[in-house]
Amino acid sequence: MLKLNHVSMTFNPGTVNEKKALNDVSLHMAPGDFATIVGSNGAGKSTLFGAIAGSFWPDEGEVILDGRDITFEPEHRRSNVLGRLFQDPMRGTAPHMTIEENLALAYLRASKARNAYFSRVTKQDKADFREKLALLDMGLEDRMTQPVGLLSGGQRQALTLLMATLVTPKLLLLDEHTAALDPATAEKVLALTRDIVAERQITCLMITHNMKDALGLGNRTLMMDSGRIVLDVSGDERAGMTVDDLLARFAANAGKALDNDRILLSEMG
Amino acid sequence: MTSFFTLAIVQSALELGFIYALVAMALFLSYSVLNIADLSTDNCFILGCAVGSTVALAGHPILALPAAMLAGVGSGFLTAFLQTRLGVESILAGIIVNTGLYTVNLAAMGFSSNLNLFKCDTIFTMAKAALEPVIGSWYKLAVAAVITLAAAAALWFFLGTRLGLSIRATGDNADMVRASSINPAYTITVGLCISGSLTALAGAVLGQYQKSCDINLGQGMVTIALASLIIGETLVGRQKLGLRLSAAILGSVIYRFIVAIALRMNVPAECLKLVSALIVAVAISSPQIKVLYARHKRKAAARAARKGGN
């Protein structure tokens, strides 16, 4: 589904702030793969997402999604088939527009016809939105005409997740999307994520700093360091792993211990 | 009431209110919705007036309106192009276009600084023939109101479509628009084109209304329209879309009544710009003033309490 071939990216080349954020990264995700990504601060996790989503053009290499070379495709065009969630719950929704209007915009990705631009939200659409919102189990289906700005961070993130998957994307990018939420809400949004991804077999990449989630969610774990993928485990090898095993493997491959000031090593997360 | 306000004064305030409401609606779109201070408004207004008057002088007063709107679309497109594609700061883009339009406006008026339409047909003289027997001297108001209300209804409908929704989202959260696979550069361009066409339409209607067009007619138009918009929003609140559009019209009418009262009380016409500047400055800064005042009160209260404790 997703192929990265030898992707490299250097920020601020030729200055004192030069930073090789991606260093010859190659990655192949099969359809339905759900990989978690862990790594130190500045390991290149978010930069990897940037290259896939089109926030910048990589210096070298190519990004291929479902057989289509999207390396130089504008960001807004890729979002047709890409869903992306950020750590900040405010980034995915328009606060002064109603829940219904936000959903209508997300739904626009589905409409291929040009005249979709001039279509209004129909009663049928509203009924659909209502049904989907009810699945979140947050009571949002009764607040559809309220501005999104009135919702809590967790509710906004759940809504963003719904919007990103309203039309099933070919690839879902989750950039620590529960890190800014309180533990109970984070757990809920994570459970929603797990259900939606599993139910629709969405190919998914998820950055996390929770080591338990890194092993417990999905079918594959990637670890990054200094712009490289230093560890890629899946299948039986992964099934028998503990957090300590993972850290030991990371240290062996990266030549140093995992260093992330927000990493959660405990089982409490 | 009757002694202070003659019928003619009330009528002309309403007429002008409806005509200038088109500019307030244009700013509603660019300033309130898209969050862009479009400073090309002043000369875009005159562009509409110049193009509209020239076409009306050629004998096509009705065609003058779409012609002016088309010119306004061009002006809006240029402003948008500079800021979305060429990376010019949005305020500067408006100023640049505003400056350039001055020459364009003169050219549209045949390089004369004013035109007069006293000898040609206008939409108002045409309406007079048809409507005066029925509604008397209210025919001018009927024309202005029909045009403005039609534009408001069209804008209301448009902002409820998916393209309209994405324009509204652009001012709110451009990231999200991009995530909905729409280019924000595109939505800004469409928004400013519509805003420009409304401003120019106002110019064209005003030109035919007062039967003249002057190169300096639009001076301070952006401030006046903002004042109207703010007056309306203060009274009606920032609720639903339809209400907010009505607020722009209401604000514009109220502004014209304020002007009428001022003129009736012999305030010199030259002072009105200062009044509208003050309205805008006070209204836009009022949230910050409230914060400062609340802080001052808290500090004073804390000081008083400390003194009491000693």
∠ CA B238-B242-B248, rounded to 5°: 65
Q: Sorting pLDDT into bands at 50, 70 and 90, what band is A261?
A: low
Facing residue for A80 by CB, picked from B175, B181, B184: B181
Q: Which of A52-61, A168-177, A220-229, B213-222 is least confident?
A: B213-222
Strands of A203-207's sheet in order across: A82-85, A171-175, A203-207, A34-39, A220-225, A228-234
What is the pLDDT, as a whole number, of residue B309? 56
Residues A75, A176 within the same domain: yes
Residue B212 identity: S
Do A190 and A265 belong to one domain?
Answer: yes
Q: What is the CATH number of the domain that holds A261?
A: 3.40.50.300
User: Could you say which of A149, A167, A185 is where a domain stops?
Assistant: A167
Q: What DSSP letter does each residue of A85-107 carry, written as one string?
A: E-SSGGGGS-TTSBHHHHHHHHH
Chains A, B: CB pairs < 8 Å = 81
Which residues in chain A are closer than 8 Å to B184, comparing Cβ atoms?
Answer: 76
A145 and A69, same structural domain? no
Check whether residue A187 and residue A132 sit in a common domain.
no
Distance separating alpha carbons of residues A240 and A114, to the nearest angstrom:
51
- A94/B168 CB distance under 8 A: yes
Asked whether residue A211 falls in the same domain as residue A234, the answer is: yes
**Number of compact structural domains in chain A:** 2
Contact (CB<8Å) A117/B176: no
Residues on chain B touching A126 (C-beta within 8 angstroms): none
On whether both A184 and A256 belong to a single domain, the answer is yes
| A112 reaches B (C-beta below 8 A) | no
Confidence of residue A110 (pLDDT cuts 50, 70, 90): low
Query: Would you tell me the crossing angle of helices B64-84 and B90-108 to the nearest 10 degrees?
Result: 150
Indicate if A192 and A117 belong to the same structural domain.
no
Closest to A75 (Cβ–Cβ): which among B165, B173, B178? B178
pLDDT band at A268; cut points 50, 70, 90: very low
For position B48, what pLDDT does the model report? Answer: 96
The ipTM is 0.82
Query: Which chain A residues are closer than 8 Å to B241 by Cβ?
Result: none
Co-location of A151 and A200 in the same domain: no
CB-CB contact of B177 with B184 (8 Å)? yes
Residues pairing with A172 in the sheet: A83, A204
The CA distance from A118 to B159, in Å, is 9
Is A212's pLDDT higher than 90?
A: no
Last residue of one domain, picked from the residues A151, A167, A183: A167
Nearest CB to A94; choose among B172, B181, B184: B172
Chain segment A217-226, per-residue pLDDT in tens: 999 999 999 8
CA atoms B114, B269, B143, B247: torsion sign: positive
> 143-162 in B: which are within 8 Å (CB) of A?
157, 160-162
Q: Which of A77, A111, A117 to mutate: most B Cβ within 10 Å?
A: A117
Instruction: Provide, as residue numbers in chain A, all residues whose Cβ is less than 8 Å from the Cβ of B166.
Output: 105, 108
A93 CB-contact burial (10 Å; exposed 0-12 / middle 13-18 / buried 19+): buried
Same domain, A173 and A263: yes
In a domain, A87, yes or no: no
pLDDT at A191: 93
**Residue in A closest to B183 by C-alpha:** A76
What are the residue boundaries of the structural domains of chain B, listed by start?
7-267, 272-310
Per-block mean pLDDT, blocks of 10 residues, chain B (310 long): 76 94 96 93 96 94 95 97 94 95 94 90 88 86 95 94 91 86 92 97 95 88 90 82 92 90 82 80 82 91 79
Q: Is residue A88 part of a domain?
A: no
Say which of A76, A120, A121 has its CB closest to residue B181: A76
Provide the 3-class DSSP secondary structure of residue A6. Answer: strand
- Select the residue of B163, B168, B176 nearest A93 (Cβ to Cβ): B176
User: Both tokens of residue B156?
Assistant: 């209301």
Residue of A nearest to B174 (CA): A94
Picking from A102, A104, A109, the nearest residue to B181 by CB comes out as A109
Distance from CA of B232 to the nearest CA of A (A): 19
Closest CB to B180 among A95, A96, A108: A108
Residue A258 shares a structural domain with residue A205: yes
The answer to whether position A86 is within a domain reads no
Architecture of domain B7-267: Orthogonal Bundle (1.10)
Query: Is A102 within 8 Å of B176 when comparing Cβ atoms?
Result: yes
For residue A267, pLDDT over 70 is answered with no
Confidence band (pLDDT; 50, 70, 90) for A115?
A: low
Among A167, A188, A209, the domain-final residue is A167
The predicted structure's pLDDT at residue A149: 92
**A104 and A235 assigned to the same domain:** no
**Can you state the angle between helices B41-57 and B184-210, rounded to 10 degrees?**
50
H or E stretch including A37?
strand A34-39
Q: What is the mean pLDDT of residues A167-196?
A: 92
Put simply, whether B188 touches A (Cβ < 8 Å) is no
Instruction: Give the residue numbers spanning the domain of A127.
Output: 93-167
Q: Which of B5, B25, B6 is nearest to B225 (CA)?
A: B25
pLDDT value of residue B310: 53
- Closest-CA residue of chain A to B163: A117
CB-based contact B161 A119, cutoff 8 Å: yes
Specify whether A104 is located in the same domain as A182.
no
CA-nearest residue to B179 within chain A is A79
Q: Cα dist. A189→A98, A205, A212, B121, B202 in Å?
A: 21, 16, 16, 66, 50
Q: Is B179 at the interface with chain A, CB within 8 A?
A: yes
Q: Given pLDDT bands bounded at 50, 70 and 90, which one contains residue A265?
A: low
In the sheet that holds A2-11, the strands lie side by side as: A19-29, A2-11, A60-65, A68-69
Put residue B122 in one of left, alpha, beta given phi > 0 → left and psi -120 to 50 → alpha. Answer: beta
> What's the longest Cα–Cα distance across chain A?
59
